[in-house]
């Protein structure tokens, strides 16, 4: 559930009309609900209360300091994939000893930074990386905490660009090679085995792939426990959200409907996984991002033109693929709603941005209410993998970001100024 809804014909974020935020801060504009972030984190945390566990929020989903700080206050750990993300967590008040460092391409500088900061564990993805961490830890006279990311070769049945747990993907160590590798690690002087990690993919809305992966991993985990002092098992992230219908899924009523039957929830997730995991006696780590932040945010955009070609009805808006690339990159669905309820017959509409790319499209042939120049639309489910994937393509400044709490709000990122985009550039002297 989330805290975006219509009231008196207007779209609200918690207790604030979205139109008021746009009037104050312009468009395009990212808006986040603090209560939704906290509710999603707390709900997952509570569902897993029978396990010793740590939720490590995936910073890549939404890395704004205001978001990270909101979760830090809940006791969250963090899943990071760069020195920059670690710096963000530290600046936001997060604990370094609750950070895991993932990613297949950690540089020497990043490894040294993470070791000096005292992170909880490296998720190691390859033998060369393992050797690099050992070498750097030795130079620094430190012991590096590590877990190996195991590739269980389980097809998560998700989008090809966000599946991570098969042998065709670049991630982790092949399942069959793991035991021998742990025996090798035990002989390395500057490494400490802390746990085992896996991650099979993102945006999973059924529990079965998680169950299949955990069941495959359990015999391996038990054998490793017999030989090594494991502290944790990280089962990764990947919990999906409802993109369609995003607005309706904000209510408890919708979750009781037949439409919601079978969709993954924290409760169904825990119901299936806790009985499998509890007998291990290990700390269980999770790395959710989208589940916590996805439906906690929206992107508001202004209608600039309405264009009819005789064959197509285009609504041209001021947001573009550089602001929200998911529809262009993943063919992703984002529900689009007006800030004020509209009357009139729905029209098959392409909502498009101003960039000169055919892929600068947010939806095609979608039945939407009629709108006019100056109206505003909200693209829902834009709290994760939205702003973090934004760019300055076409020398376009990135939008402002606003965080709402009850009837209050704060700008957590100022709108970029166009001149700042090329302030660091120089004209050649020759």
Which domain range does residue 123 map to? 34-291
Tell me the CATH number at 230. Answer: 3.20.20.10
Which pLDDT value is given to residue 159?
44
Q: Distance (Å, rounded) from C-alpha 46 to C-alpha 62? A: 22
Confidence of residue 154 (pLDDT cuts 50, 70, 90): low
Residue 152's pLDDT band (cuts 50, 70, 90)? confident
Mean pLDDT in residue range 417-427? 95
Would you call 210 helix, strand, or coil by DSSP? Answer: helix
Whole-angstrom Cα distance, residue 287 to residue 204? 13
Please identify, among 291, 318, 351, the residue that sits at the C-terminal boundary of a domain: 291
SS3 of the chain: helix, strand, coil, percent, to 5: 35, 25, 40
Asked if pLDDT for residue 165 goes beyond 70, the answer is no
Q: Is 305 left (phi over 0), alpha (psi -120 to 50) or beta?
A: beta
356 has catalytic annotation: yes
Give me the percent of the chain exceeding a pLDDT of 90. 90
Say whether both 57 and 205 belong to one domain.
yes
| Residue 274, in any domain of the structure | yes
Question: What's the rounded mean pLDDT across residues 399-403?
Answer: 98
Q: Are residues 186 and 40 in the same domain?
A: yes
Average pLDDT score over the chain: 94
pLDDT at 344 over 90: no
Say if 3 falls within a structural domain: no
Q: Are 240 and 204 in contact (CB under 8 A)?
A: yes
Average pLDDT over residues 215-235: 95
Q: Which helix (DSSP H) or strand (DSSP E) does residue 106 occupy? A: none
pLDDT for 164 equals: 45
Among candidate residues 241, 270, 291, the one where a domain is terminated: 291
Q: What is the pLDDT of residues 284-299, one digit of tens each?
A: 999 999 999 999 999 9
Beta bridge partners of 305: 316
Give 162's pLDDT tier (boundaries 50, 70, 90).
Answer: very low
> For residue 356, what is the domain's CATH number?
2.40.37.10
Name the region of 225 (left: φ>0; alpha: ψ -120 to 50; beta: rest): alpha
Separation CA 299–CA 336 (nearest Å): 10
Query: Does a structural domain hold residue 171?
Result: yes
Answer yes or no: is pLDDT of 163 > 70: no
What is the pLDDT averaged over residues 303-328?
A: 97
Single out the catalytic residue among 13, 356, 363, 426.
Answer: 356
Residue 400 lies in a domain: yes
**Residue 274, exposed/middle/buried by CB under 10 A (0-12, 13-18, 19+)?**
middle
What's the pLDDT at 151? 84
From 291, 309, 328, the end of a domain falls on 291
- What the block records as the tokens of 83 is 């020195």
List the single range of 151-160, 223-232, 385-394, 401-410 with lowest mean pLDDT. 151-160
Q: What is the DSSP string of 263-301?
A: ---HHHHHHHHHHHHGGG--EEEE--SHHHHGGGEEEEE
Distance between CA atoms of residues 44 and 42, nearest Å? 5
- Is the predicted pLDDT of residue 282 greater than 50, yes or no? yes
Q: What is the pLDDT of residue 304?
A: 98
pLDDT score for 158: 44
Tell me the mean pLDDT in the region 2-27. 98
> Which residue carries 């982790």 as its tokens?
172
Same domain, 194 and 301: no
β-pairing, 144-151 vs 173-174, is parallel
């Amino acid at each position: 559930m989330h805290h975006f809804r219509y009231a008196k014909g207007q779209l609200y974020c918690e207790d604030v009309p979205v139109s008021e935020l746009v009037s104050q801060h312009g468009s395009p504009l990212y808006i986040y609900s603090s209560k939704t972030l906290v509710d999603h984190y707390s709900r997952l945390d509570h569902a897993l209360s029978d396990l010793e566990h740590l939720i490590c929020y995936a910073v890549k989903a939404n890395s704004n300091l205001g978001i990270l700080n909101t979760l830090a206050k809940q006791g969250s750990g963090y899943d990071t994939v760069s020195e920059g993300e670690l710096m963000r967590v530290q600046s936001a008040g997060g604990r370094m000893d609750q950070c895991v460092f993932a990613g297949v391409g950690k540089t020497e500088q990043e490894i040294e930074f993470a070791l000096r900061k005292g992170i909880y564990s490296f998720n190691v993805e390859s033998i060369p990386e393992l050797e690099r961490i050992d070498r750097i830890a030795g130079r620094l006279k430190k012991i590096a905490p590590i877990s190996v990311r195991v590739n269980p070769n389980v097809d998560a049945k998700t989008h090809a660009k966000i599946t991570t747990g098969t042998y065709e993907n670049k991630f982790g160590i092949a399942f069959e090679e793991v035991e021998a590798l742990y025996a090798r690690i035990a002989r390395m002087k500057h490494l400490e085995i802390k746990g085992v990690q896996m991650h099979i993919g993102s945006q999973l809305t059924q529990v079965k792939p998680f169950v299949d992966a955990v069941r495959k991993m359990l015999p391996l985990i038990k054998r490793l426990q017999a030989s090594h002092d494991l502290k944790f098992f990280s089962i990764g992230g990947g919990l999906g959200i409802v993109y369609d219908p995003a607005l309706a899924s904000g209510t408890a009523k919708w979750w009781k409907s037949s439409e919601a039957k079978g969709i993954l929830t924290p409760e169904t997730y825990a119901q299936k996984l806790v009985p499998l995991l509890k007998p291990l006696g290990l700390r269980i780590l999770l790395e959710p991002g989208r589940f916590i932040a996805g439906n906690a945010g929206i992107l508001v955009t202004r209608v600039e033109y309405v264009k009819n070609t005789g064959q197509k009805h285009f609504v041209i808006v001021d947001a573009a693929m550089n602001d929200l690339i998911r529809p262009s990159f993943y063919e992703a669905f984002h529900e689009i709603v007006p800030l004020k309820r509209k009357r009139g017959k729905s029209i098959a509409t392409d909502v498009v941005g101003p960039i000169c790319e055919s892929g600068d499209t947010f939806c095609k042939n979608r039945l939407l209410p009629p709108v006019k120049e100056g109206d505003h639309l909200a693209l829902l489910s834009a709290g994760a993998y939205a702003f973090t994937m934004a760019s300055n393509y076409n020398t376009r400044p990135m939008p402002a970001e606003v965080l709402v709490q009850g009837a209050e709000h704060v700008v957590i990122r100022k709108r970029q100024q166009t001149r700042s985009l090329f302030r660091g550039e120089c004209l050649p002297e020759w």
